Structure 1
Amino acid sequence: MRIFLAGASGAIGRRLVPALVAQGHEVVGLTRRASAQVEAMGATAVVGDVYDAAGLAEVVRAARPDVVVHQLTDLGAGDRAANARVRTAGTRNLVDAALAAGVRRIVAQSIAWAYEPGAAPAAEDTPLDLGAGPERLGTVEGIVSLEAAVAELPEWVVLRYGTLYGPGTWYERGALMARLAQDGKLPATADVSSFVHVDDAASAAVAALSWPTGAVNVCDDEPAAGHDWVPVFCDAVGAPGPELVVGERAGWARGADNGRARKLGWEAGMSWRDGFARV
């Protein structure tokens, strides 16, 4: 297949390009600036701006893709508002470009911690948390906008990734969460998270090329409270032991159920317990 990959130079994109090429796909990778790295991995790199609707439409039309894969983020500076803009305006432009080019299928990155509060890890039919407080609501609304736009194509898969860790993410040595841990600003709370290594996230994106339409939680098998995972992460990045905070978890911090992904034949290659040792 011919695949247009938006976000080819990102943490997942850098793993996804060689995986797609190895399967015989022709990959056109969208980047913000010229990228010899993307070309070296076997893709055709094209420079474009997702906020330039007309320019993006032309780039997608010229690529003639069978599938668009959306792995766009804007997290380098830790700016959640900028990332929400990618999910809203950037996704809108990418979907419009795909529709104008006659693309039938899209695979898009979403998140697995936008669900409403509940007692158990959330499955895909759990409503998203549109009743969230102000600090969280912008993130949830960005996801709602992204997923609604993606669903305009005839065939679509939304990959609701757990918290990404590994090279190129916030969860590696020297990155944002490691710096917080070093500064004693990453307490171990009761909040539950589901994690996925970037290698496993990329493998799910490859598999999703043939998955049925719908949303899929992509995370490992072990949702974990901060009481469990934060000390392991701190040790992995050489940070001091965290402050232990006793109390109830936030209602939405419930983790995610990956049962649908496993039924589709995907499974995580590693759990956070093993994966943190590699950061």
Structure 2
Amino acid sequence: MRIFIAGGTGVIGRPLVPLLVGRGHDVLVGTRGADRVPALREAGADGVVMDVFDAESVTAAVAAAAPDVIVHQLTSLAGGDLAANARIRTEGTRNLVDAAKRAGVRRMIAQSISWAYAPGDGPADEATLLDTAAPAPRSVSVGGVAALESAVAEIDEHVILRYGTFYGPGTWYAPGGMVAGALAKGLVPANDAVSSFVHVEDAAAAVVSALGWPNGPVNVVDDEPAPAHAWVPVLAAALGAPAPERTAGGNAWERGATNARARFLGWQPAYPSWREGF
């Protein structure tokens, strides 16, 4: 299968490319920098330079790739800028979907998130509505997610991977990452807010599985949604940081998500819980 990955040099792309190549797929990666192409070739893929905010650039890259499937992993997360990430989900996705249509690509797999659901009791499933009534600043992120998912649904065959919070190499939770730094400074609350996590290797494996999944959203999270007062001390111990004292509080939308559908479809995480993964 010929697969084009938009955003294939990020934290998911790095483990994903060798997985796909190892299964015999012909992999092309859209990247912002020509300097990244040699490393992609060493991994068995090829690189296509494009600017996701330039519609003509994206159209040309997708047309040249002529893929069977587009994997959309475009994000802007390094600096924690919500507006920049929402823009890439809105404008970048629009350009990618339009390019896919022009090239006759019938299948797309796209990265979304599992914490954009509306408030409620217990972990959210895929039938739960997105939190489109959320006030700012949350509305920025949810709006970007809603725009992404709506655009991707225009493709005949589409799977939307609603990932949990990424951890593992290159993420905010790795040594030297943004959360790790905040934890060392005592700025991560150990409160009642519930999160669902997923290791980046399991996130990449879900893309491979999703090549054969039916249309629609799928939560890609581990088995154990957990309040911060449970996972923060475990992460602190793994990083050698001081564990903060337990506090109360948390938002109603911080409820975690269930992976029942992903498991039904055959996905089995190598790290069923953040407890082993951390």
TM-score when normalising by structure 2: 0.98
SS at match of 2:219: strand
CA distance in 2, matches of 1:24, 1:153: 25
In structure 2, give the amino acid aligned to 1:163.
T
Match of 1:189 in 2: 191
Match of 2:25 in 1: 25
Task: Tell me which of 135, 142, 145 is aligned to 2:144.
Answer: 142
RMSD between aligned residues: 0.8
Match of 1:158 in 2: 160
1:45-72: CA deviations, max 9, x gaps? 1111100101110110011100000011
Tell me the CA shift for residue 208 of structure 1.
0.4
Q: Does structure 2 conserve the Cα–Cα contact (< 8 Å) formed by 1:114 and 1:143?
A: yes
Moved over 4 A (4+): none
CA distance in 2, matches of 1:130, 1:51: 24
Tell me the CA shift for residue 131 of structure 1.
1.4
CA distance in 2, matches of 1:57, 1:255: 37
Match of 1:84 in 2: 86
Structure 1 spans left out of the alignment, 5+ residues: none
1:67-111: CA deviations, max 9, x gaps? 000011111112111111110000000000011100000000000
SS at match of 1:160: strand
Match of 2:252 in 1: 251
Match of 2:264 in 1: 263
My pick for the range that moved more, 199-208 or 129-138, is 129-138
Q: Does structure 2 conserve the Cα–Cα contact (< 8 Å) formed by 1:184 and 1:243?
A: no
SS at match of 1:46: strand
Match of 1:70 in 2: 72
Check if 1:226 corresponds to 2:228.
Answer: yes
CA distance in 2, matches of 1:31, 1:10: 10
CA distance in 1, matches of 2:78, 2:229: 27
Structure 2 spans left out of the alignment, 5+ residues: none
Q: Does structure 2 conserve the Cα–Cα contact (< 8 Å) formed by 1:8 and 1:38?
A: no
Task: Tell me which of 92, 100, 108 is aligned to 2:110.
Answer: 108
Tell me the CA shift for residue 226 of structure 1.
0.3
Identity of aligned residues (%): 59
Match of 2:179 in 1: 177
TM-score when normalising by structure 1: 0.97
CA distance in 1, matches of 2:123, 2:135: 20
CA distance in 2, matches of 1:138, 1:191: 20
In structure 2, give the amino acid aligned to 1:116.
A
SS at match of 1:210: coil
My pick for the range that moved more, 103-112 or 28-37, is 28-37
Q: Does structure 2 conserve the Cα–Cα contact (< 8 Å) formed by 1:121 and 1:254?
A: yes
**Matched pairs, number:** 275
Check if 1:15 corresponds to 2:20.
Answer: no
Q: Does structure 2 conserve the Cα–Cα contact (< 8 Å) formed by 1:29 and 1:45?
A: yes
Tell me the CA shift for residue 202 of structure 1.
0.1
Tell me the CA shift for residue 243 of structure 1.
3.1
Tell me the CA shift for residue 246 of structure 1.
2.0
1:7-39: CA deviations, max 9, x gaps? 111110011111001111101101110212211
CA distance in 2, matches of 1:242, 1:88: 37
